[in-house]
């Protein structure tokens, strides 16, 4: 018998005696390895729709208002890229007074929402012109303010060149310049971006809107 045989037999006895401890140790090391791998694997980004204004990165959300014939009118913050249909669902849908025919005909529920936009859903008792829901850019917007005044307000984000030229002091050149610099987040952008001269801006600022 060589010196190696007793050593091998001793090693086998040791493995048999402590076999369960060794198994538990190996299982523990495996679990630690799996946990480390999972914790260091990058997660896929999630798009979250916020029900009410809950804060968050301003670049990843849009804050919009929905009013009129919905069950829960108000201001909502939704994930950037959300659609008008998402806003209506957050407002718990249209109520019983909503003019369903008007909605089906003029409201593009698939349009992407713009930050600062307002959507108004009329009731069956109201008479709104079709232009209040149309948009040359494909984005839903309201071109007229309804309620206390019948004065038409031009949406500089969606109006055609012909509509813009109806404004005082706006000719073909200014109208085209307004179109070329879209979109606008506020009426003041017409002045701060030097789209219009100060005197022209002062003349039309109360006759235009961006949503």
Determine the pLDDT at residue 93: 93
Query: Looking at per-residue confidence, does 143 or 105 come out higher?
Result: 105
Q: Answer whether 0.85 is exceeded by the pTM.
A: no
Instruction: Tell me the three state secondary structure of residue 95.
Output: coil
Which DSSP category does 40 fall into?
A: T
Q: What integer pLDDT is reported at residue 6 of this predicted model?
A: 62
pLDDT value at residue 153: 82
Q: Is it the case that residue 14 has pLDDT exceeding 70? A: no
Task: Please state, in angstroms and rounded to a whole number, the distance separating the CA atoms of residues 182 and 177.
Answer: 9
pLDDT value of position 32? 74
Closest CA to 142 of 161, 115, 117: 117
Which pLDDT belongs to residue 78? 94
Q: What angle do CA 89, 95, 100 make, to 5 degrees?
A: 90
Q: Please spell the DSSP secondary structure of 141-158, one letter per residue.
A: ---S--SS-----EETTT
Of 97 and 39, more confident: 97
Q: What is the pLDDT of residues 46-94, one digit of tens each?
A: 334 444 444 445 568 999 999 989 999 999 999 998 999 999 999 999 9
Q: What is the separation, in whole angstroms, between the first and last Cα of the chain?
A: 97
- Pick from 10-19, 32-41, 68-77, 145-154 the range whose average pLDDT is largest: 68-77
């Amino acid at each position: 018998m060589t010196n190696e045989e007793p050593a091998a037999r001793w090693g086998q006895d040791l493995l048999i005696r402590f076999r369960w401890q060794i198994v538990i140790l190996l299982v523990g090391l495996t679990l630690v390895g799996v946990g480390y791998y999972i914790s260091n694997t990058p997660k896929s980004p999630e798009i979250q729709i916020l029900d009410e204004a809950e804060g968050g990165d301003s670049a990843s959300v849009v804050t919009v208002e929905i009013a009129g014939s919905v069950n829960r009118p108000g201001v909502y913050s939704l994930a950037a890229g959300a659609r008008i249909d998402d806003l209506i669902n957050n407002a718990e849908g249209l109520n019983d007074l909503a003019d369903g025919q008007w909605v089906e005909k003029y409201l593009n529920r698939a349009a992407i929402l713009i930050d600062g936009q307002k959507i108004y859903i009329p009731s069956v008792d109201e008479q709104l012109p079709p232009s209040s829901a149309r948009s040359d850019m494909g984005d839903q917007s309201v071109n007229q303010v309804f309620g206390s005044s019948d004065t038409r307000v031009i949406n500089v984000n969606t109006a055609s060149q012909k509509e813009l030229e109806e404004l005082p002091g706006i000719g073909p050149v200014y109208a085209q310049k307004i179109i070329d610099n879209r979109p606008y987040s506020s009426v003041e952008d017409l002045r701060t971006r030097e789209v219009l001269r100060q005197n022209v801006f002062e003349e039309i600022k109360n006759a235009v809107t961006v949503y």
